[in-house]
Structures are given as structure tokens and as C-alpha cells.
Amino acid sequence: MRDSVLTQPLNLVRDSIEALTERQVLLLSAGFLFCIGLVMVGSASMDVADATFGNPFYFFIRHFIYLGIGLFVAALVLQVPMQTWNQYCYQFFLIALVLILVVLVPGIGRRVNGSMRWIGLAGFTLQPSEIMKFAGVMALAGYLVRRQEEVRSKLSGFMKPMIFVGVVLFLLLMEPDFGASLVILSAIMVMLFLAGSPLPLYIGLVITVVVVGVAVMIAEPYRMKRLLAFTNPWADQYGSGYQLVQSLIAFGRGDWFGVGLGHSVQKLFYLPEAHTDFVFAVYAEEFGLMGVLLLLSAVVALVVAAMRIGQRAERAGQYFSAYTAYGLAVVIGIQSSINIGVNIGFFPTKGLTLPLVSYGGSSLIVMFAILAVLLRIDAESGNVQERGVRRVAGGKHVAG
């Protein structure tokens, strides 16, 4: 009797989740994340905004405007067929590459916290590396479709895209933007693996990436300082380890159920970048472990839904859409993992936002564009499958 009382609600929840389509899971998880993001940006930034701009809702209002722009961009992107993206993916990549070059031009690029990653536009800022994450995935998806046999059988098919990826990474590291470089490289590597690139070449690439990554980390003193602070932040808790120590304190104060919305202490000028890179720590402090598990579940559901949309497109024979969905899923998953890992001390500080949650106009708008592309892929692959079912059903009817 007791077992049935406990298991029936759980079975109902399980059946309800299994009945959801990929599109519904994508929309529900993304909607939950950007609603949490709007609330947390407001909560985490009020005191800083009031002290800096005399308006406690300064960042909240701007984030709300970015949400509106993101929804508008998503509505436009949703109208673009995947065939059009396939046709112009290389041009899109070149535009993103030019924007990254423009950032490095003195007098145009804006330097913040030692990094030149932004272009100022009428009071707002554009971060080209966010666009490159999107454009790079599209360009490689187009290449993998056009050169599929060469990628699977020849060294040239594998090396050609890596040359362009190397150029992109070189430019990003000049800004420097190590986090965006890692996200783009991870997406490229997963896409090449799924496209069937030869395993020896793939293993060689992984080894090369590890060696180059280590060299990049030790090449600059500030990166080594971050790495040492990450391994033992308490050794210099008021210097290089300050950010991570304050983040860990926020997690500790959150306990099981948090201190309550708006009651975070760490956001009161203790935790730098509380509404951007470390908004997850403030969220953990205010909502506790239970809130953290709920947010992590939404992130995982979003990534899994994107991967399943890619699988559906692959079954429908839409390989450009499939590779694009896989790459975009990796971008969301890796960036989320790095941001969360930085907040809990699992990775050194990278300066990456938590998708759909952190404050940041370029990141938020590009994420809405990514979601719109995934929805478009889902709709087009669904139409193909429906036509296939109708043809099969029609054939059976004629045969009968």
C-alpha cells in the first residue's frame, strides 16, 4: 500500500517526462534558465548597480532589453531555412573572423579587465567570439557535408578545417580569450569525431591540443598565477585566490535550501563579477543545493534535447542540420560546464558566462539564435519524417 502511494506519483512524473518531445524539452529548459537568469541578474547586481550608477535596476533593465532583442533575433532566425545556412555558412564564418580582427584594432576594440574582446556600439558592446562559436559550428558542418569522404579517408580532409581553426584560436588568444577558444575547439573536435575522422588522426589531435594547451597556460605569467590560485586558493585568499574563495564561501552558505532570494551576502562587494561569471555562486547561496540540482537538470535536459534533435535530423538524412545541432549542443554543454566548474573551483577562472543565465548581451542574443536554429532543425526533420510515414502508409494502402 505504502509502495503504491510512493511509486504512483513517481511513475506519473516519469511518464509525463517521457511523453515530452525534444522541442518541448528544449523550450521548457531554456525558458526556465532565462527566467532564473533574469531574476538572478537582478538579485546579484542591485548593490553594485546602485553604487556604480545610482540605479539598483541598471543591469536588470539592460538584461531585460537583451532578452527582448534575443527573442526578436530568434524570431528572425527561425524563419531562415537550414539550406540557406548551408549555402552561406562560409560567408558567415568570414564575417565572424573579420569581427574578431576588428576587435584587435587599437581604438576600436574595448579593453576590460586586461582583455580586448568587445566592440562598442551606441552604448552597447558586441563580443565577436560569441558569434564565432555559432559561425564556426556552421562552417564546419558545411565542410563535413561537402567533404565527407575526404574527412573520413584522407589526411587533407582532416587538416584543412584545422588550419582555419588554428587561425581563429590564434586570434582569440591574442585578445586573450582562452575560454572561448576552449569552447570552439571542443565543439570542432566532437564534430570531427562524429563525422568519422580517422581515429589515429583524432588521437593525434587530442595529444596536440593537450600539449599546446599546457604551453599556452605556462606562456603567460597571469595564466600561471590563475592556475596556481585554482589549485590552492586559500594560500593567497586575499590575492590571486580571492574570487574562488568568495565563490566557495557562497556555496557553503547556501547549504541545502539556500538563504533565500535577495539575501546573499557574497554579492555585497565580496564576490567580483557576481552578475556575470559568478552568478551561479550567488544562485547557489540563495537557493542552496536543491536549487543547484534543479538548474543543473535544466542544463542537462537542454543539451540532451539538442543532441536528440541532431540524431533525428541525421535519421532524416539532413546531415548539415545534424552536425550543426551536435556542435551547438557541445557549445552549450561545454560552456555551461566550464562556468559551473570555475564557480566550484574545478577549473581555473576563464571569463565565460553561464548560457541564458549570466548577464551579457552578446552571449544572450547568440544563445537565442542557437535555440532558434535548433527549433528550425527539429521542425524540418519532423516534416521529412512525416512525409516518409505518409509515403509508406500510402504504399501500403495501394498495395492493399
Candidates 259, 254, 162, 237; CA nearest to 204 is: 162
- Note the pLDDT of residue 399: 46
Quick one: cell of 176?
Answer: 586573450
Name the phi and psi angles at 112, rounded to 5: -130, 125
- Residues 102-127 have a mean pLDDT of 77
- Residues 351-380 have a mean pLDDT of 93
- Note the pLDDT of residue 398: 44
- Note the pLDDT of residue 400: 46
- Residues 206-229 have a mean pLDDT of 71
Which percentage of the chain shows pLDDT scores above 90?
47
Pair 331, 303: CB distance under 8 Å? no
Least confident window among 86-100, 192-206, 265-279 = 192-206
What is the SS3 assignment for 258? coil
The yes-or-no verdict on residue 2 having pLDDT over 50 is no
What is the SS3 assignment for 344? coil
- Note the pLDDT of residue 10: 46
- Residues 339-343 have a mean pLDDT of 92
Phi-psi region of 390 (alpha: psi -120 to 50; beta: other; left: phi over 0): alpha
Quick one: cell of 91?
Answer: 560567408
Those residues with Cβ within 8 angstroms of residue 205's Cβ, 6 or more apart along the chain or in another chain = 158, 162, 189, 192
Which is higher by pLDDT, 132 or 244? 132
Per mean pLDDT, which of 25-29, 51-55, 379-383 is the most reliable?
A: 25-29
The yes-or-no verdict on residue 243 having pLDDT over 70 is yes
pLDDT bracket for residue 1 (50, 70, 90): very low
pLDDT bracket for residue 133 (50, 70, 90): very high
